[in-house]
Amino acid sequence: MIAVAPLASALCLVVFALAVALTRRISVGSISAALALPVFLWAVPFTRTDRATAVVGSLVSALILARHLPNIRRLLAGTEPTFSFRRKEDAS
């Protein structure tokens, strides 16, 4: 998508980074970016592309969401792990 819709892709990267920063969950960032991509391709005037690109981008988003179903289940159950830049302490 970066090659055919660079602005929409860049905005999705921003959505991803904000979602991860706010929730500390990579899966939330990925899911948020996947949900945002069709919106950027279809609805945001300055990022709109041709219809074929928007359809393909929407299908890619649907595939990403389908691959994240286990993550979504863990999020709903409250068992999805969080992300941290801090190094884990040794157990010894």
pLDDT in tens, 3-34: 888 999 999 999 999 999 999 999 999 999 99
CB atoms within 10 A of CB 10: 13
Entry pTM:
0.84
Residue 62 forms part of a structural domain: yes
State the residue range of the domain holding 61: 6-77
Residue 90 has pLDDT above 60, yes or no: no
Q: What is the pLDDT of residues 27-62, one digit of tens each?
A: 999 999 999 999 999 988 877 778 888 999 999 999
Residue 87 forms part of a structural domain: no
- Name 44's Cβ contacts closer than 8 Å, sequence gap at least 6: 8, 11
Residue 54 forms part of a structural domain: yes
Residue 59 forms part of a structural domain: yes
Residue 92 forms part of a structural domain: no
pLDDT at 47: 74
CA distance 63 to 8: 18
Distances 7 to 22, 24, 49, 86 between C-alpha atoms, Å: 23, 25, 10, 32
